[in-house]
Structure 1
Amino acid sequence: MKADIHPDYHQVVFVDSTTGYKFLSGSTRTSDETIEFEGATYPMIRVEITSDSHPFYTGKQKFTTADGAVDKFNKKYGLA
């Protein structure tokens, strides 16, 4: 196996921007933002959808904090 070709994995906290749900996972991504999680400081990455907010996993639709997102889309692309 070749040396120094594998990415550097480290612990990162992913935060669902819709619900605020947080979970710790290994990742190659990094971030300048940090968060205190379970007594330690980790890099924080915001994501739009997690198992806490996706309708497939929840069985119901949760409302997002982005009010008027559909109206903005329709206005931008001229859909009626």
Structure 2
Amino acid sequence: MKQQVHPEYHKVVFMDTSTGFKFLSGSTESSSETIEWEDGNTYPVIKIEVSSDSHPFYTGKQKQNTAGGRVDKFKRKYNR
């Protein structure tokens, strides 16, 4: 493998901002924010919006669409 071509991997904590779920993984990303992990070491923390803890595919829960579909809009519009 060529030297100095691939980025350096290091351990990073990813934190799901919607649920607070955290996990430690290897990544090439870095952050100025740090967090102390369960093993007593300090790692950079990267905040993410969706993880396996909040994604509907893994949780089995879908967000409810309050706007409704076309049929519901038609019924509301014509009071039927």
TM-score w.r.t. the length of structure 1 is 0.73
CA distance in 2, matches of 1:61, 1:36: 33
Query: 4+ residue stretches of structure 1 with deviation over 4 A?
Result: none
Matched-pair identity in %: 69
Gaps of 5+ in 2: 64-80
In the alignment, residue 24 of structure 2 is paired with which amino acid?
L
Quote the offset at 1:4 in angstroms.
Answer: 1.0
Q: Find the counterpart in structure 1 of residue 36 from structure 2.
A: 36
Aligned to 2:68: none
Aligned to 1:21: 21
Structure 1 residue runs without a partner (length 5+): 63-80
Which one has a bigger Cα radius of gyration?
Answer: 2
Tell me the number of residue pairs that the alignment of Structure 1 and Structure 2 aligns: 62
